[in-house]
Amino acid sequence: MKTDVSIPTPEGDARAFVFTPDKGSGPWPATILYMDAPAIRPAMFEMGERLAEAGYYVLLPDVFWRAGPYPPLDIAKARAGDPEMGALFAKLRASTNAKLQMQDTKAYLDWLTKQPQAKADRIGVTGYCMGGGIAIRAAGTFPDRIAVAASFHGGNLATDAEDSPHLLAPKMEARILVAGADEDRSFDPAQRDRLDVALKDAGLDAKVTIWEGAKHGWVPTDMPVHDPVHAERHWKELVDLFDEVLKP
């Protein structure tokens, strides 16, 4: 079941969507699903519904909510140089940054604690593409709330940037699962190794890999590189992990 919701933040109401199992009335373990760069669309709703049917209360926030209402984003056209899609993509990406994403995540966590259908004392987060970085950053920013975090075909997780997510490893307490895309310049073997070392040095239970043959964007069904086999592997590993941590 999908419900449109508005979440109050210091800068206004953020658009988001809630998914709950079709049967039962909860409460269910709370999770946050961070979208990929192509934005809110039916493929993201499919993912929210599937995670909910595994027995979770799923919050899917629109990371680009500050940009206001926007038409469907064709990421392939944007990357191919289409001026209209390129301008829309630039507008959406410019509406957020790491600081704002964590500011919003605090609002999401505060909101979740007030939902009677959600068990929100210990949260699971998962993210895709840019959402993967948000999920890992959230684990380091809200260690008292984030019990498990997953990133699939996420990028820029362990760079030389001063705010690289891997630098937050000493603050994390969550179980971590990172599955990078093959031949992905935004998360190459060097970043994989750097992230793995940072998480292990912090004493965390973490698994950091690159899935051979899985290309950047393999999970959502509408992506040109969608890989059904690897997507199903993702669902099994994600749900198994969430079940172990959030359904003891």
55-113 confidence digits (pLDDT tens): 999 999 999 999 999 988 887 788 788 899 889 989 999 999 999 999 999 999 999 99
Domain limits of the chain?
2-246
Dihedrals φ, ψ of 206, to 5°? -135, 145
Residue closest to 221 by CA, chosen among 57, 42, 22, 55: 42
The whole-number average pLDDT for the span 145-159 is: 98
Q: Which amino acid is at 244?
A: E
What is the pLDDT of the chain when averaged over all its residues?
A: 96
How does pLDDT run across 185-243, given as a tens digit for each residue? Answer: 999 999 999 999 999 999 999 999 999 999 999 999 999 999 999 999 999 999 999 99
> pLDDT category, 126, cuts 50, 70, 90?
very high
Neighbours of 95 (CB within 10 A): 15
Burial class (CB in 10 A: 0-12, 13-18, 19+), 26: middle
Positive or negative CA dihedral for 146, 159, 238, 59?
A: positive
Q: Which CATH number fits domain 2-246: 3.40.50.2300, 1.20.1440.230, 2.30.40.10, 3.40.50.1820?
A: 3.40.50.1820
Helix axis angle for 130-141 and 98-112, nearest 10°, is 70
